[in-house]
Structure 1
Amino acid sequence: MGASILVAAISTAFGVVLISATAYIDAMLRANPYIGASGTLGFVNSFLTVLLVGVAVYVASIVTANTFATVVAGRTRAIALLRLIGASARSQRSEIARQGFVVGVIGAGLGLVGGTALAAVGVWLAGRMLDLGDVPFDLVRADLLLPAAVVALTTWAAAWAGSRRVLTVTPLQAIGGSVELSHEAVVRRSGRNIAALVLFVVGGALLALGVIGGLFSPLGVVVAFVGGILSFTGLALGATLVMPPVLRLVGRIFGRSATARLAAENALRHPERSSRMAIGVVMGVTLVTMFAVAIQSTKAVMTAAAGGALPPELGTILDSFAAIMMGLVAVSAVIAGVGLVNLLTLGVVQRRRELGLLRALGVSNGQIRAMVLLEAAHITIAATATGLVLGVLYGWAGAQSLLGSIPTNPDAPVVGTFVVPAVPLGPVLVIVIATAVLTLVAAVVPTRLATRVAPVEALAE
């Protein structure tokens, strides 16, 4: 549960730092005699804080739910044994949910302390670097408890959602081990698949409505935002149907060697496990790409509206805002990366018997190590490609719904402007490099665990 505690701590610390930064900026604005009375800047500041904290909690909840779902799959035999001696499924699920609450409380407490310390350092540095003098500001406030409470409750809810599999474990499974759903079983889950399809269709319709509404009013971005959340939630819920085709396509680039074929088949044999690993990375890449495309497209529209040359001062402000936003959104990508490392490690731990059998059949440590590394590369490449495509689409939809009503040519009588999506090369390269690094980091611990498996010991489990 260490990774889940880390995810909760990062989410809480992120919320605490953002709320503290917002309050400090508000204090600076109030202290300024010229713009202190402006409520617009304060509203925008608070809105961005709520938005970014909400995104981080959203990513953390999905990562935590996937972690607990993987843990439950690994405990199938123990759960079945308890069922065999009379324990009820609901009592075991409640126990797992309580573990999730404890994990959330511990992580939220650590994040609260760490976030407050980071905020104190940030306030001190801002006062020294900007020479602001004495700005009235309280570091310790009651509203900092809000992100901690939200993260703790969200972790508990995610553990409850991720432990749903407990209800389907039967006593007969006590003779088996870790049980993941096969592709056929995943396809037969009609209730979940229908819910995912409904969310995706409704979200897509709202996204399209927001894009059309953006041709007449910037408020179309609100409708598009809701549509984006719903449609991506549908994709996350139906990841076991969306990701396997992408994984199968990516698997073809690794060649036809025995190690590559084993890695590709392992990613496809249990689509639920591989999809849980991939969807967190998809979220992180989508978020970073979305903000990068939206900001670059905004800059392109404003440049066109200014006659082809953006004023240097405005360009500097936009670039600074873009850098800050990308840094903040990157926190959600870090949370997703922690989830990938944790799930890949859990996957190797739960496949000890399989790895022991491969060792007994003559597969070398080097081949086992290459197989695990290729599995990680398989998942991250598929997730990165999917996230880049989704990020460009969502980023363009956000820019179009916000800026579609701004005429790039003041003399043109046309109502509404088509915003051409601008894809910045720099952030895309950073995403690709970061994904490659993540693949190597994610494979370090699992490869060590995989090569330490003794064939006789693993087969005896």
Structure 2
Amino acid sequence: MLSLSLASLRHQSRQYLAPGLAVVLGIAFIAATLVLTGTMSSSIRQAVAGQYEPYQSVVVAEATDTEIPSGVADQVAAVKGVTAVDPVRTGAGLLRTATGESYAMITTESAITSHPVLEGRAPRAPTEIALSRTVAAGSQLEVGDTVPVTAASGESAEPVRATVVGIVDVADDPRYGGGTPAVFATPEGVTGFTGAKGWEEIAVVAATDEAATTAAIRSALETKGADVTVLTATEHADNTVTEFTGGTDFLAVFFLAFAVIALFVSAIVIANTFAILLARRARETAMLRAVGATRGQVIRSALAESLVVGVVFSVMGVLVGIAMAWGLTRAGASLAGDALPDLVFTVPVRAVIVPLVVGVVVVLVAALRPVVRSSRVAPLAALRPDAAITGRSRGGRLRIALGLVLIAAGAAALVLSGSLPSVAVGVVGGLVSFTGVIMAGSVLVPWAARAVGLFAARPFGPAGRLAIDNAVRNPARAAATASALLVGVTLVTMTAVGAATTRTALTDFINAQYPVDVVVAGTSIPDATAAAIRSTEGVAATTTLTGSSVSASWGASSARPMLTAVSDGLRDVVRDPAAMPTVPDGTVVVSDEAAGSAGIHTGDEVILQGPDGRTRVRAQVEGGFDTGWLVTAATLAEVDRQPATTALFARVADGADATATLDGVTELAAGIDEGQVGGAAPVRAANMQALDIALAVVLALLAISVVIAVVGIANTLSLSVIERTRESALLRALGLTRGQLRAMLAIEAVLLSLVGVVLGTALGVAYGLAGVRSLFGEHMTVSPTLPWGQLTAVALVAIIAGLLASVLPARRAARVSPAQALAVE
């Protein structure tokens, strides 16, 4: 039987190319992911091990958000056997350069494992700093330049002018991976720049081994009552690697999830292929049974074929994945520069073993059901000329009934997830309902095919009617073929709808919380500056707000707030007019934050005293806006007849580059006294950009599943053409032209694609909306948003792909002459 299996593989090798390609794509995905994560982990581990190789022990703070007291370093140095201590002090600072204010992590440079100096030297004085190459390039600073430095936390009141004395290379240090801006200074310098006084960690060099050194330091510090943890250098390096590779592990899980989806679609294609091939070989199988082969031998022979297919194509997938990972590693290394440590290409054993095992198991499991089903046909029944493995078994009816139950239960869970809201319930509901759709596919797909065919295929006459009959003749096969595309379309649609609905909800939320795109504030904004901002490219509308610093008193309390007059054009500028309060004459509207700090309440009578008079108003406390005290222009004129222009609100035009617009406004506002520029535009732009990037990445990953599904459609048609050779010849003999035969197969492919599109779009829309409601329904209003352009593009791509998938099978079928095909036994 083994020789028979190998002979069958040689004879039908071309018919395994399509499912083999599906396996190669899925396995290459897994192998590339594991190789890339292995390369990252190995490179980080090597870099970290190099950083801590000279040390025996490391002292760290007990809690991650605390510092080690400065005196602990001296206590560690006094421990017997310790020859040197290398304490690290770190703080967050801001560098004010010609390119703007930039954040940097300011830390001490190690005296033992210092970074290579590219230019200049290491800092020696408290006002000297060395920059990483990333910071030097981004801030346009060179050796010899001076730059004001302040604490990012505000602990250092006055800027300290620092002199750049060196530029260092941190490319091999994973602590500064991802392009983290690093600035190095002396311990006193870090304290002066950032206010940090303690140590982040203390590395120890000793004459004794790791265990003895660590035990001695731990014992000494316990007697002093220090709230620290003492680790061996190896333990600390392992902890550091775990911390740095956490993001890598997340990415591995993220990409492997899409690999599982691709393999699931591959399994559908493989199962369909084996079902068709074994149905064609029904008479051959019956003959083997008639001459003495047992059912077990037939099953083992067919599984041996699937095993060979799984091994061969899984090996190819692993090789393709390794090659992809190597190319991505090289490209990543050249593009990332200092953002990543030197990448050492590594192929872990698991990156070879896991994909191989997964590939073989997927193929065997996918082939098992068709193989077992084909072995159940009685020899005499299979030897009949019209023998075929068709019909619906009792198990099939039970599966359909269970599928319908799962659909109902999953739909109920999806509705419930939006009401609670609960992400867990939504995920379970989606998985349960989709499993039900797949299980009940042999009922849903033929029904949908006939329904869609009434509109899409009937107009094409006999070819259209024959295509409908062929598409639903074998419900299980039609369901398997459409289900492969259904998975891809559902996930693509769900992602697109989810992203569009999230974009709408997030935009509405930002508009309500931060209704002004750009806010320019200062002591006094000149009219010329306001006019220039109004003419800036990307600015749709502006309005200025006048204000005056006045004295306010109510009851026994008093304050000196900045009184701001509401302008007539304010509602034309804000994104959400409802977020701005209505301000009547004789009233001062106070934001809830300002009212809380001042102790003022709605209804309090407030006396406002300004340079030109005084007036009495009633306080009204409201939330939803940031400007502290609002009055009408008439009320402000009663206390100050010539108020200064203290703020300018601008609205960014729809479709304009918010970042570029903000940069232009910031440049114009540089000359304003105590000028500040902010607003919601950059926040909104950053959120939308992140959402677009995430959408593009997910759609690109899901495209692999769609490609596999299209391969499955082409494979099913090709095998069906071979299976229906005599039928096609009879139709030709009865008058069907070659063009009509091609049209019939093309319509059949498009019909199956349309079924996948219709069902997938319906499911994807439902899943996308339910997902957004369960994620954000508790925090913001979720309004359904359908990206019609993207949905139309998905449908067109699927239909065109189905049409293209029919070209070669139709061409092959049309070439065979009726007489030749009818002579086939």
Contact 2:410 2:429 in 1 (8 A): yes
For the residue of structure 2 that corresponds to 1:384, the secondary structure is: helix
For 1:75, the aligned partner's letter is R
Contact 2:268 2:480 in 1 (8 A): no
Whole-angstrom distance in 2 between the partners of 1:50 and 1:207: 27
Q: Within 5 Å, which residues of 2 pair with 1:14-33?
A: 14-23=29-38, 30-32=174-176
| Residues 268, 138 of structure 1: alpha-carbon distance in 2 compared, 3 angstrom cutoff | same
Could you tell me the TM-score, scaled by structure 1's length? 0.88
Contact 1:63 1:336 in 2 (8 A): yes
Q: Which residue of 2 aligns with 1:413?
A: none
Aligned match of 2:333 in 117, 127, 152?
127
> What is the Cα deviation at residue 17 of structure 1?
2.4
Q: Which residue of 2 aligns with 1:381?
A: 754
For 2:821, the aligned partner's letter is A
Whole-angstrom distance in 2 between the partners of 1:339 and 1:256: 25
Q: Which residue of 1 aligns with 2:706?
A: 333
For the residue of structure 2 that corresponds to 1:422, the secondary structure is: coil
Q: Which residue of 2 aligns with 1:281?
A: 485
Could you list the per-position Cα deviations for residues 433-455 of structure 1 after superposition, in whole angstroms to 9, with x for gaps in the alignment?
21132122211111112112222
**Identical amino acids, percent of aligned pairs:** 31
Higher-helix-fraction structure: 1
Could you tell me the TM-score, scaled by structure 2's length? 0.51
> What is the Cα deviation at residue 320 of structure 1?
0.9
> What is the Cα deviation at residue 250 of structure 1?
1.5
> What is the Cα deviation at residue 49 of structure 1?
2.5
| Residues 268, 451 of structure 1: alpha-carbon distance in 2 compared, 3 angstrom cutoff | same
- Unpaired runs of 5+ residues, structure 1, are 409-416
Q: Which residue of 1 aligns with 2:800?
A: 437
Aligned match of 2:773 in 400, 406, 409?
400
> What is the Cα deviation at residue 206 of structure 1?
5.0
For the residue of structure 2 that corresponds to 1:311, the secondary structure is: helix
For 2:711, the aligned partner's letter is V
> What is the Cα deviation at residue 211 of structure 1?
5.7
After TM superposition, the structure 1 stretch with the greater mean CA deviation from structure 2, 419-428 or 358-367, is 419-428
Aligned match of 1:301 in 505, 522, 525?
505
> What is the Cα deviation at residue 43 of structure 1?
5.3
| Residues 192, 397 of structure 1: alpha-carbon distance in 2 compared, 3 angstrom cutoff | farther
> What is the Cα deviation at residue 136 of structure 1?
3.9
For the residue of structure 2 that corresponds to 1:169, the secondary structure is: coil
| Residues 457, 425 of structure 1: alpha-carbon distance in 2 compared, 3 angstrom cutoff | same
Aligned pair count reads: 444
After TM superposition, the structure 1 stretch with the greater mean CA deviation from structure 2, 171-180 or 153-162, is 171-180
| Residues 313, 20 of structure 1: alpha-carbon distance in 2 compared, 3 angstrom cutoff | farther
For the residue of structure 1 that corresponds to 2:511, the secondary structure is: coil
Contact 2:418 2:770 in 1 (8 A): no
For 1:171, the aligned partner's letter is P
Aligned match of 1:174 in 377, 383, 400?
383
Q: Which residue of 2 aligns with 1:143?
A: 350
Aligned match of 1:424 in 775, 787, 793?
787
> What is the Cα deviation at residue 125 of structure 1?
1.0
Contact 1:210 1:221 in 2 (8 A): no
Whole-angstrom distance in 1 between the partners of 2:792 and 2:417: 33
Aligned match of 1:103 in 309, 318, 321?
309
Q: Which residue of 2 aligns with 1:454?
A: 817
Q: Which residue of 1 aligns with 2:113?
A: none
Whole-angstrom distance in 1 between the partners of 2:722 and 2:298: 22
| Residues 54, 204 of structure 1: alpha-carbon distance in 2 compared, 3 angstrom cutoff | farther
Aligned match of 1:241 in 415, 426, 443?
443
Aligned match of 1:158 in 366, 369, 377?
366
Q: Which residue of 1 aligns with 2:21?
A: 6
Whole-angstrom distance in 2 between the partners of 1:25 and 1:224: 34
| Residues 130, 350 of structure 1: alpha-carbon distance in 2 compared, 3 angstrom cutoff | same
Could you list the per-position Cα deviations for residues 337-377 of structure 1 after superposition, in whole angstroms to 9, with x for gaps in the alignment?
11111011101100011011112222221121111111112
Q: Within 5 Å, which residues of 2 pair with 1:28-107?
A: 30-32=174-176, 37=243, 41-42=247-248, 44-107=250-313
Could you list the per-position Cα deviations for residues 177-213 of structure 1 after superposition, in whole angstroms to 9, with x for gaps in the alignment?
56252xxx33xx3323323433553465356446635
Contact 2:37 2:249 in 1 (8 A): no
> What is the Cα deviation at residue 234 of structure 1?
2.6
Could you list the per-position Cα deviations for residues 375-415 of structure 1 after superposition, in whole angstroms to 9, with x for gaps in the alignment?
1122111221111111111222222233333x12xxxxxxx
| Residues 440, 91 of structure 1: alpha-carbon distance in 2 compared, 3 angstrom cutoff | same
For 2:784, the aligned partner's letter is P
Aligned match of 1:271 in 470, 475, 487?
475
Relative contact order, higher structure (CA 8 A, sep 6+): 1
| Residues 266, 449 of structure 1: alpha-carbon distance in 2 compared, 3 angstrom cutoff | same
| Residues 42, 212 of structure 1: alpha-carbon distance in 2 compared, 3 angstrom cutoff | farther
| Residues 311, 178 of structure 1: alpha-carbon distance in 2 compared, 3 angstrom cutoff | farther
Q: Which residue of 1 aligns with 2:321?
A: 115
Contact 2:501 2:783 in 1 (8 A): yes
Whole-angstrom distance in 2 between the partners of 1:11 and 1:223: 29
- Unpaired runs of 5+ residues, structure 2, are 1-15, 45-172, 182-239, 513-679
For 1:140, the aligned partner's letter is V
Whole-angstrom distance in 1 between the partners of 2:811 and 2:687: 51
Could you list the per-position Cα deviations for residues 267-314 of structure 1 after superposition, in whole angstroms to 9, with x for gaps in the alignment?
223323322222211122112112222232333332233236652122
CA RMSD of aligned residues (A): 2.6
| Residues 4, 178 of structure 1: alpha-carbon distance in 2 compared, 3 angstrom cutoff | farther
Whole-angstrom distance in 2 between the partners of 1:362 and 1:206: 49
Q: Which residue of 2 aligns with 1:411?
A: none
For 1:32, the aligned partner's letter is Y
Q: Which residue of 1 aligns with 2:592?
A: none
| Residues 226, 444 of structure 1: alpha-carbon distance in 2 compared, 3 angstrom cutoff | same
| Residues 31, 87 of structure 1: alpha-carbon distance in 2 compared, 3 angstrom cutoff | farther
Contact 2:463 2:744 in 1 (8 A): yes
Contact 1:282 1:384 in 2 (8 A): yes
Q: Within 5 Å, which residues of 2 pair with 1:170-209?
A: 170-172=378-380, 173-177=382-386, 179-181=388-390, 185-186=391-392, 189-202=393-406, 205=409, 208-209=412-413
After TM superposition, the structure 1 stretch with the greater mean CA deviation from structure 2, 248-257 or 421-430, is 421-430
| Residues 20, 323 of structure 1: alpha-carbon distance in 2 compared, 3 angstrom cutoff | farther
